[in-house]
């Protein structure tokens, strides 16, 4: 049976949708990708910090976070912020999050994040074999630094990573200075993830993958998907602002916006967003050689083609609130705390991390409709997990056997 006869609609052309599209096309499906915008224009897949972080399996739902949150909210240099008008809407999410902060649930998330993170880079390499990313992907590792204040939290992470088997190298002050001599010596210690990589321009990589998708026969429709209906044999009919399209299968990969469609097909998944920001300091990418994250202030800097990209903040405030100018100011101040000689910043960007309260993504079939699949909710790691999630989805659609335990990613965990 030729799979070319089977059609799949993929909704969302962020890194998740594009990678799903590519792996499905490789399997012989006829794939149409939908996005309301041009791919990579404004999405999280455009503005992220560009880390490919296979080590990052320790989730934010951890017992010590609950005691740290009040101090983080009060601190003007801290990473956490709230839009107070959104707090009442987010209470159910917060309650579920708190429930997930037990040691047991943290370890469950860490184990199953590790399962897919460990396969993330090889899955990308399968796609990168077909495009030239030699100028766009750097293999210089990623460095995290901190000072004494939060050493205890760091010890917890380091111990769990050791337990899980994620490779890490502890750094003393001198070793940090040797790797990144321009960073001011405000740190006490650090950790280096040698195998991590970074993108010099996430948008360009996304567009190269998207072009490959088109070259292989994929179609793209720049349309907003409004509803999904079903014919008598439960095949999806995707209705956009312009047209209706019938498919054999459809994938919802709309990042933080996925909930609008999952609600519409009657599945209540507690997806919300952690808003994050970036700014660029043009022509300053030479100041560091690799991404550096300063954990005390919860922000990072990545050398990119656009300049030095400074990224951070977890702001709970939903999808509709405007940009918070204070968060931009916070990033500027933090960058200047770490580096001398930075000019006026450019490009103030707000993006939406798609986050479930247990910090596992949703990858798998829908509860109610056998021909609908989901790939969303990858929170801080959706860039890293693009290719592996697409690969898993293509295997699920074709009902392939797998050695992976995929149950923990199922949306059924919320029913």
Separation CA 407–CA 269 (nearest Å): 16
Q: What is the CA radius of gyration of the chain?
A: 21
257 forms part of the interface with ligand FAD (CB under 6 A) = yes
Binder to ligand FAD among 54, 79, 218, 276 (CB under 6 A)?
A: 276
Please answer whether residues 397 and 8 qualify as being in contact, where contact means their C-beta atoms are separated by less than 8 angstroms.
Answer: yes
The stretch among 13-21, 149-157, 337-345, 365-373 that binds ligand FAD (CB under 6 A) is 13-21
Separation CA 81–CA 11 (nearest Å): 30
Q: List binders of ligand FAD among 277-306 (CB under 6 A).
A: 278
Nearest distance from residue 110's CB to ligand FAD, in Å?
16
Nearer of residues 176 and 311 to ligand FAD, judged by Cβ:
311
DSSP H or E stretch at residue 84: none
357 forms part of the interface with ligand FAD (CB under 6 A) = no
117 forms part of the interface with ligand FAD (CB under 6 A) = no
Question: Which tokens sit at 204?
Answer: 């360009």
The stretch among 12-20, 132-140, 187-195, 394-402 that binds ligand FAD (CB under 6 A) is 12-20
Nearest distance from residue 237's CB to ligand FAD, in Å?
15
Which of 47, 173, 99, 15 has its CA nearest to residue 359?
A: 99
Separation CA 367–CA 373 (nearest Å): 9
Q: List binders of ligand FAD among 169-228 (CB under 6 A).
A: 224-225
Separation CA 79–CA 95 (nearest Å): 20
The stretch among 5-13, 152-160, 164-172, 324-332 that binds ligand FAD (CB under 6 A) is 5-13
Handedness of CA 106, 111, 113, 117 (dihedral sign): positive
Question: Which tokens sit at 1?
Answer: 């049976």
309 forms part of the interface with ligand FAD (CB under 6 A) = no
Question: Which tokens sit at 248?
Answer: 């054999």
By CB atoms closer than 10 A (0-12, 13-18, 19+), residue 325 is: exposed
Nearer of residues 11 and 176 to ligand FAD, judged by Cβ:
11
Please answer whether residues 365 and 373 qualify as being in contact, where contact means their C-beta atoms are separated by less than 8 angstroms.
Answer: yes
Nearest distance from residue 104's CB to ligand FAD, in Å?
25
Binder to ligand FAD among 27, 51, 154, 203 (CB under 6 A)?
A: 51
The stretch among 31-39, 189-197, 326-334, 397-405 that binds ligand FAD (CB under 6 A) is 31-39
Size of the site for ligand FAD (CB under 6 A): 40
Separation CA 74–CA 169 (nearest Å): 32
Separation CA 372–CA 393 (nearest Å): 11
255 forms part of the interface with ligand FAD (CB under 6 A) = yes
Please answer whether residues 298 and 312 qualify as being in contact, where contact means their C-beta atoms are separated by less than 8 angstroms.
Answer: yes
Nearest distance from residue 111's CB to ligand FAD, in Å?
19
Looking at 167-296, which runs of residues are DSSP E strands?
A: 169-171, 189-193, 197-199, 219-221, 225-230, 236-240, 244-246, 249-252, 272-281, 292-294
Report the 10 Å Cβ neighbour count for 320.
8
Nearer of residues 44 and 183 to ligand FAD, judged by Cβ:
44
Binder to ligand FAD among 381, 387, 388, 392 (CB under 6 A)?
A: 381
Nearer of residues 54 and 190 to ligand FAD, judged by Cβ:
54
Nearest distance from residue 125's CB to ligand FAD, in Å?
16
The stretch among 10-18, 84-92, 109-117, 396-404 that binds ligand FAD (CB under 6 A) is 10-18
Nearer of residues 177 and 211 to ligand FAD, judged by Cβ:
211
Nearest distance from residue 260's CB to ligand FAD, in Å?
6
Q: Site residues (CB under 6 A) for ligand FAD?
A: 11-17, 34-37, 43-45, 48-51, 53, 224-225, 253-257, 276, 278, 311, 351, 353-354, 376, 378-384
């Amino acid at each position: 049976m030729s799979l070319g006869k089977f059609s799949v609609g993929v909704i969302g052309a962020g890194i998740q949708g594009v990678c799903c599209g590519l792996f499905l096309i490789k399997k012989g499906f006829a794939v149409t990708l939908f996005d309301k915008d041009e791919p990579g224009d404004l999405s999280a897949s455009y503005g992220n910090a560009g880390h490919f972080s296979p080590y990052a399996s320790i989730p934010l739902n951890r017992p010590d976070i609950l005691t740290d949150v009040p101090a983080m909210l009060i601190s003007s240099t801290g990473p956490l912020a709230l839009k107070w008008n959104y707090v009442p809407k987010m209470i159910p999410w917060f309650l579920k999050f708190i429930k997930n902060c037990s040691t047991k649930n943290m370890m469950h998330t860490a184990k199953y994040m590790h399962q897919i993170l460990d396969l993330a880079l090889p899955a990308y390499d399968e796609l990168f074999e077909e495009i030239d990313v030699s100028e766009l992907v750097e293999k210089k590792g990623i460095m995290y630094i901190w000072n004494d204040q939060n050493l205890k939290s760091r010890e917890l992470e380091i111990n769990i990573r050791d337990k899980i088997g994620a490779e890490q190298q502890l750094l003393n002050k001198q070793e940090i200075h040797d790797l990144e001599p321009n960073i001011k010596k405000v740190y006490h210690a650090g950790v280096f993830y040698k195998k991590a990589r970074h993108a010099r321009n996430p948008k360009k990589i996304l567009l190269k993958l998207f072009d490959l998708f088109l070259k292989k026969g994929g179609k793209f429709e720049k349309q907003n998907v409004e509803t999904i209906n079903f014919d008598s044999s439960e095949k999806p009919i995707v209705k956009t602002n312009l047209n209706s399209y019938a498919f054999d299968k459809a994938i919802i990969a709309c990042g933080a916006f996925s909930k609008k469609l999952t609600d519409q097909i009657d599945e209540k998944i507690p997806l919300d967003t952690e808003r994050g920001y970036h700014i660029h300091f043009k022509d300053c990418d030479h100041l560091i050689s690799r991404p550096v994250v300063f954990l005390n202030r919860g922000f990072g800097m990545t050398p990119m083609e656009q300049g030095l990209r400074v990224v951070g903040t977890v702001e709970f405030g939903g999808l509709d609130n405007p940009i918070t100018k204070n968060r931009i100011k916070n990033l500027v101040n933090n960058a200047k705390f770490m580096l001398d000689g930075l000019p006026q910043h450019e490009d103030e960007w707000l993006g939406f991390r798609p986050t479930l309260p247990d910090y596992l993504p949703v990858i798998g079939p829908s509860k109610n409709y056998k021909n609908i699949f989901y790939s969303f909710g990858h929170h801080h790691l959706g860039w890293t997990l693009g290719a592996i999630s697409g690969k898993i989805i293509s295997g699920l659609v074709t009902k392939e056997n797998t050695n992976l335990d995929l149950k923990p990613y199922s949306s059924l965990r919320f029913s």
